[in-house]
Amino acid sequence: MIDLSEAGDGLQGYALLAAQLESLLADERDFIANAAQFSAFLYTQLDNLNWAGFYLNRSEELVLGPFQGQIACVRIPFGRGVCGTAAQSRQTQRVEDVHAFAGHIACDSASNSELVVPLIKDGHLIGVLDLDSPALGRFSVQDQEGIERLAAIFLQASDC
């Protein structure tokens, strides 16, 4: 596990994670296999997470994909909760306190903060990458930028 708080300003830590992810996904193009690997990679390499995984766009509804962590909600409508908001807006959602987020869906009551990155390839929303933490304010702007970079590496390495 990389302690991003000790890796300079966090950028070095995410650069190392990016290199590791590129290597991990280098010889595989299958989306589901890569999503499973990527969620396990994030769950084991980032501290203070209780969920890391994917919700996939299925006819304007998010459906649970590969993940690591507690059992999860299976379907999330666009526009509902942090994931549905990210899907509908196509913008990353970084929420310091999910309990203060209007319409939050509590799949795991232990989650207190969340980072959700929409996955867009060739103009199409593939789904979202969702990270949850039991800590309030777990995700910084640097985390957001680092995870968005990792998500781009995942999309580039995977056939969608």
| Helical segments of the chain, H only | 11-25, 31-45, 81-89, 141-157
As a whole number of angstroms, the distance between CA 7 and CA 129 comes to 24
pLDDT reading at 18 higher than 80: yes
- Give me the mean pLDDT over the 57-69 stretch: 97
Given this model, what pLDDT does residue 70 score? 92
What's the predicted TM-score (pTM) here?
0.94
Tell me the CATH number at 89.
Answer: 3.30.450.40
Range of the domain at 132: 4-157
Whether 2 and 43 have beta carbons less than 8 Å apart is answered as no
pLDDT digits (tens, 9 = 90+) for 93-150: 999 999 999 877 877 778 999 999 999 999 999 999 999 999 999 999 999 999 999 9
Q: Give the Cα-Cα-Cα angle 58, 60, 66 (nearest 5 degrees).
A: 40
DSSP, residue by residue, 70-97: S---SEEETTSHHHHHHHHHTS-EEES-
Reported confidence tier of residue 2, pLDDT bands at 50, 70, 90:
low
